[in-house]
Chains A and B, each alone.
Chain A
């Protein structure tokens, strides 16, 4: 079975500062990795995904994430955040070649202060 741990439930940061949201996973097989963003009272939308190839993945809104197989991590980063980045962020993992039902982390609330 696979699992996902988002190490911080809440991350406060000032506008224009860099941010890192941490995600660790466990799986005995190869995986696909995802980050989703959820704005208040809305559904989730995909920020970025790692399927294969380059371990540095770029997504929408200036976010990027790095897949580290040895540390089983997939941390999300942005060099300079905006107020509009305030949202809930979810990391998810699914087995490659499996039933494709993803497992989600509990989410990290990013709060950007002016």
Chain B
């Protein structure tokens, strides 16, 4: 079955450590996105990529980094510069030239102790 796989589902880290969240898709979508979700704040766009080897900052990119070396993969690194990293992170993908309909992974919950 085609879909998006995020891992790990739950992650605990100490303050000051970098963390990398994995996102893999087998939908053959060109575009991929990372969102952060906090209670009552909806979804906020961190980074997006519409083609391999290219990505753009979203609304809250500070303290995060991404790479897009393969079409299927779009990992997110939460760096120690991110002041409040505890959140639920969602990866999504979409067809370029489509309608903007997103396909989401199951999410990764990061807790920084």
Contacts and interface: CB of A to CB of B under 8 A. Distances in A.
Interface of A: 9, 32, 34, 36, 41-46, 49, 51, 90, 92, 94-96, 99-102, 104-107
A90 B37 CA distance: 12
Contacts of B107: 41-43
A99 B109 CA distance: 29
A112 B18 CA distance: 40
A9 B42 CA distance: 10
Interface of B: 4, 6, 31, 33, 40-43, 45, 48, 50, 88, 90, 92, 94, 96-102, 104-107, 109
12 contacts: A32-B100, A34-B100, A41-B107, A43-B4, A43-B107, A45-B104, A90-B42, A92-B102, A100-B31, A100-B96, A100-B99, A101-B33
Given A32-B99, A42-B106, A44-B92, 4 more contacts: A34-B100, A44-B43, A90-B43, A100-B31
Contacts of B101: 32, 34, 46, 49
A99 B88 CA distance: 25
B90 A44 contact: yes
B106 A100 contact: no
A99 B100 CA distance: 8
Given A41-B107, A43-B104, A106-B40, A101 B45 contact: yes
Contacts of A107: 40, 42
A44 B50 CA distance: 20
A32, A92, A101 interface centre (most CB from chain B within 10 Å):
A101
A44 B104 contact: yes
B109 A44 contact: no
Contact of B41 (A42, A43, A49, A106): A106
A43 B90 contact: yes
